Amino acid sequence: MKLLTPLIAASLAGASLMHAAESSITSKSFGTTTNGVKVELYTLTNEKGASASISSYGGIVTKLLIPDRSGKFDDVVLGFDKLSSYEKKSPYFGALIGRYGNRIAKGKFSLDGETYTLATNNNGQSLHGGIKGFDKVVWQATPVVTKQGPSLKLTYTSKDGEEGYPGTLSVTATYTLTNKNELKLVYTATTDKDTIVNLTHHSYFNLAGQGNGDILGHLLTLKSGKYTPIDKVLITTGELTPVKGTPFDFRKATVIGDRINQENEQLKFAGGYDHNWVASKLPGHLGVVAKVEEPKSGRVMEVLSTEPGVQFYSGNFLDGTLVGKEGKVYPFRSGFCLEPQHYPDSPNHPNFPSVELKPGQTYKNTIIYRFSTKS
């Protein structure tokens, strides 16, 4: 293992050595892809001792160690021990998603009067960037220590026509584990031709610790009065539907499992929650879109974002067949995702906020997963 940055000595004045605070970035080999590309695994450790491991393959957060109310660290994200498992079959565990997070109906959209056909990989639809999305490419990684905490800058240039998308897209994703126990993700992108873009993050969280049962007892708050319903192939219908009086109303903290098995067409289509909520905040402004609390560990996670929507997915496709880290298995609904993003299938719904990016413009998206505890 290589230590890439000098340890930053923190102020120890008045503090016990047990809390000696230092932040660091280390790297080690995560193996070689089946195409022979070397992959590195970086570990960012902040002054509080929390750490995030990130793979240059797929920008994947493979491990996230966060303290509970008694100060005990647990890994709160699902994932694999080996690169080959991510390459073989991963339901986007911890991944950087692009060029377009979520589904585009039949993989088709038009822009400037031209129709584009994307790679389809999900029941005839295009999901999360297509067959070889940003979760399956190797990113250039540069570690940097910032004032906020240790950080990793990932860059990738997606060629014009990759997975069917127009324009050469130059993407930067900067992951910082701040000294306030926040995992902060900042994405920027530029293009040389009119195109569409919608980047997001796909960690499966279990605030009781990965492999520690299902997430149905977690309490969820979604600051949204509306959501975007889907059809039976999980494609957004284009409507914005009030959550009031439905199992989609999470405006007050509610246990995830409370209503998930209710008789409801939307829940039936997705096998649980797998929907986009319309964020109640000013567009483009960073604000809280979701909050999750796990009563036993006391861990709390707030999600802040600049994006107009957030996908809440209750891990309905997990079925216990994947063997995860430390041999843990991941049963039905044993992890949840909160993916801040633009609404699904936006290019085909002119009433949704635009996802177009033109030459000269810079796409920017900030997502923060902020951890704390509650007694």
CA 352 to chain centre: 21
- Could you say which of 201, 202, 218, 275 is catalytic? 202
Catalytic (active site) residue 114: no
Q: How big is the chain by its Cα radius of gyration, in Å?
A: 20
Least distance to ligand GLA from the beta carbon of 205, Å? 13
Cα dihedral 266, 119, 238, 189 sign: positive
- Phi and psi at residue 73, in whole multiples of 5°? -90, 135
Least distance to ligand GLA from the beta carbon of 86, Å? 13
Select from 279, 303, 287, 283 the least CA-distant residue to 354.
283
Amino acid (one-letter) located at 307? E
Least distance to ligand GLA from the beta carbon of 298, Å? 27
**185 with 175: CB under 8 angstroms?**
yes
- Could you say which of 47, 294, 307, 339 is catalytic? 339
Least distance to ligand GLA from the beta carbon of 101, Å? 8
| Tokens linked to 150 | 């240790």
The residue (of 121 and 241) whose beta carbon lies closer to ligand GLA is 121
Residue 86 makes contact with ligand GLA by CB under 6 A: no
The residue (of 141 and 196) whose beta carbon lies closer to ligand GLA is 196
SS3 of residue 19 by DSSP: helix
By CB under 6 A, the residues from 200 to 239 that bind ligand GLA are 234
The residue (of 181 and 206) whose beta carbon lies closer to ligand GLA is 206
By CB under 6 A, the residues from 12 to 41 that bind ligand GLA are none
Catalytic (active site) residue 202: yes
SS3 content of the chain, % helix, strand, coil (to 5): 10, 40, 50
By CB under 6 A, the residues from 251 to 290 that bind ligand GLA are 274
Residue 336 makes contact with ligand GLA by CB under 6 A: no
Distance CA 106, CA 345 (A): 10
Footprint on this chain of ligand GLA (rule: CB under 6 A): 91-92, 102, 127, 234, 274, 311, 313, 317, 337
The residues annotated with a catalytic role in the active site are 202, 339
